[in-house]
DNA sequence: TCCATATTTCAACGATTATGGAATTATTGG
DNA sequence: CCAATAATTCCATAATCGTTGAAATATGGA
């Protein structure tokens, strides 16, 4: 992952409305939520939300798909995953003991009951 | 973790110089790096760097300690860990299959060879 | 005390960004 | 084709942010 893409994603998430939108979509799962409903749920005007959705999309954090008159937005889990990897990837250079808590936190925060054998 | 703190940390990291500083300190480990050396390594003027270090400090991502004439900065791994947990904490509400790759990525990116039994 | 080094603070400029009103495009149903 | 709904684009304004020169503070050594 390139630095400028990481910046783009961090910038996209570093704004209250966009972070709320992203977390809403993360919670909503792969089915996604229509733009209008996002606006209603978060109390944002539609044109402002449109700009925010555009930023998140350009950052590769969400994707969209038309469904009739609505456009459905969904979180891009791969994009989020890449960012997390980027933020953590240099944490152990010569100091594995330092970021052990980080590793544990990541494992615990990530999915509820994943089999630990999943990591090759 | 509160939303505004997450925003503060994401904002702090969402800037090229600051992300570079943070990753440098993450790589450097707990011994840290003096402000002047950070400036030299990254080619940033000292006053600009001082402002950046202040932002990272206020976000709880780094901490400092005087050593003679120099001030040594070091990454705050706990602060980073909290942010990662916050970003991931809602990813599995009813859809564990979706964020399994994220969990695997987190485990793989985090420390090199941590014993898997470390997670309770 | 005086000087050099290390870092921070202050003030100001230029650039970027978030926001909302108004107009525009796209889709559905009558 | 026309009206209604859904979302986006355009434009202007206000606010925030990064950067730098210059001055100020803190420490160590002579």
What are the tens digits of pLDDT across the range A62-111? 999 999 999 999 999 888 888 887 887 667 665 666 666 666 655 655 55
Mean pLDDT over each residue of chain B, to the nearest integer? 83
| pLDDT higher than threshold 70 for residue A10 | yes
> Could you identify the residue whose CA is nearest to the C1' atom of nucleotide C27?
A69
pLDDT of residue B98: 62
Alpha-carbon distance of B83 to A33, in angstroms, equals 25
Question: How many domains does the structure of chain A reveal?
Answer: 1
Among A32-46, A71-85, B10-24, B57-71, the least confident range: A71-85
Does residue A53 belong to any structural domain of this protein?
A: yes
- In angstroms, the Cα distances linking A34 to A77, B2, B57 are 18, 26, 38
- As a whole number of angstroms, the distance between CA B2 and CA B52 comes to 22
d(CA A36, CA A42): 10
Give residues with Cβ within 8 angstroms of A118, minimum separation 6: B100, B103, B104, B107
pLDDT of residue B65: 96
pLDDT over 70, % of chain A? 73
**Whole-angstrom distance, CA of residue B103 vs CA of residue A109:** 8
pLDDT at A6: 95
Evaluate if residue A120 carries a pLDDT over 50: no
Residues of A in contact with B5 (CB under 8 A): none
Residue B119's pLDDT band, with cuts at 50, 70 and 90, is: very low
Of B96 and A38, more confident: A38
Instruction: Supply the range of the domain harboring residue B81.
Output: 1-113
For residue B48, say whether its CB is under 7 Å from any atom of strand D.
Answer: yes
Q: Is residue A18 part of a domain?
A: yes
| Beta-bridge mates of residue A66 | A71
CATH of the domain at A28: 1.10.10.10
Q: Say if A21 falls within a structural domain.
A: yes
Paired residues of A62 in beta bridges: A75
Quote the tokens at residue B79.
């602060």
Q: How confident is the model at residue B103 (pLDDT cuts 50, 70, 90)?
A: low
Q: Is residue A42 part of a domain?
A: yes
3-state secondary structure B29-84: CCCCEEHHHHHHHHCCCHHHHHHHHHHHHHCCCEEEEEECCEEEEEECHHHHHHHH
CA distance A1 to A7: 11
Most confident of A86-90, B83-87, B109-113: B83-87
Residue closest to D17, CA→C1'? B15
* pLDDT score at B117: 40
Judge whether residue B57 has pLDDT over 90.
yes
Residue A117 domain flag: no
Mean local confidence (pLDDT), B27-38: 93
Cβ burial, residue A70 (10 Å; 0-12/13-18/19+): middle
Residue B12, CB, strand C, below 7 Å: no
**pLDDT value at A13 more than 60:** yes
pLDDT at B97: 61
Residue B75 belongs to some domain of the structure: yes
Residue B119 within a domain: no
In a domain, B50, yes or no: yes
Give every CB contact of residue B21 below 8 A, 6+ residues apart in sequence.
B38, B42, B49, B52, B53, B56, B62, B73
């Amino acid at each position: 992952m390139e630095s400028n893409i990481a910046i783009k994603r961090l910038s996209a998430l570093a704004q209250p409305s966009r972070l709320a939108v992203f977390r809403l979509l993360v919670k909503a799962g792969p089915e996604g939520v229509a733009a209008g409903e996002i606006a209603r749920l978060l109390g944002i005007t539609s044109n402002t939300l449109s700009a925010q959705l555009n930023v998140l999309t350009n950052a590769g954090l969400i994707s969209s798909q038309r469904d009739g008159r609505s456009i459905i937005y969904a979180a891009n889990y791969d994009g989020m995953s890449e960012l997390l990897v980027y933020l953590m990837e240099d944490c152990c250079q010569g100091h594995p003991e330092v970021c052990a808590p980080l590793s544990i936190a990541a494992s615990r925060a990530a999915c509820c009951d994943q089999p630990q054998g999943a990591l090759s």
